[in-house]
A and B are shown apart, each in its own frame.
Chain A
Amino acid sequence: DADVTQTPRNRITKTGKRIMLECSQTKGHDRMYWYRQDPGLGLRLIYYSFDVKDINKGEISDGYSVSRQAQAKFSLSLESAIPNQTALYFCATSDVKGGNNQPQHFGDGTRLSIL
């Protein structure tokens, strides 16, 4: 079983729809992240959470919201999807030691297309 699981793996939907992407992990890590990846732009951080009560905006949080329901779950919502949110979305987790972020572990990704 994958340590970081994203659902769905692929989604095609229409402009204006509400969409939720889910992420769950079995690694026991406190830190979780949502990224999007676009060709030529690399990975960009949307939101991150260091524990259940902690939510932080990344560099491109507009148009997105998140919920950290439990240590193991971190969901990303698009309240009203628009075509430029078409991208590959990754969830990641990490541990922390001595205040330093340890390497991140990624889910398989969700390919989202907004028509």
Chain B
Amino acid sequence: RKEVEQDPGPFNVPEGATVAFNCTYSNSASQSFFWYRQDCRKEPKLLMSVYSSGNEDGRFTAQLNRASQYISLLIRDSKLSDSATYLCVVNMRSSNTGKLIFGQGTTLQVKP
């Protein structure tokens, strides 16, 4: 089982739609979580951190469910510019590493 798993998609949605992505992680000791956005042939960029209480940034809402070991990203009122790959990232902390593990990414295509 992969340490961080995402549905690769693609998710094809019309403008204005609401879309949600889930990501599951295998290590219950994981401590911090992030969503990154990556445009085609570009570098990944931090979209938002995911806090235990959930957090919202404009049209984007991130949630964490530790009991079920998944995080989610909800995008409301999708824009054409939201088309990208969304990477789920988990901090697998141990005594001397603290590495980030990246999911494969979920591709979103927003259509006019």
Residue positions of A touching B, CB distance < 8 A: 35, 40-43, 45, 48, 56, 58, 88, 90, 94, 96, 99-101, 103-109, 111
Contacts and interface: CB of A to CB of B under 8 A. Distances in A.
B69 interface: no
A96 B31 CA distance: 13
Classify the interface of chain A: helix, strand, loop or mixed.
Answer: strand
Nearest to B94: A99
Contact of A103 (B43, B49, B99, B103): B49
Interface of B: 8, 31-32, 34, 36, 41-46, 49, 87, 89, 91, 93, 97-100, 102-105
Contact of A101 (B43, B98, B105): B98
A74 to B, nearest CB: 15
Contacts of B104: 40-42
Given A90-B43, A106-B43, A100 B99 contact: no
Given A40-B104, A42-B104, A42-B105, A101 B99 contact: yes
B102 A106 contact: no
A103 B33 CA distance: 9
A101 B44 contact: no
A99 B93 contact: yes
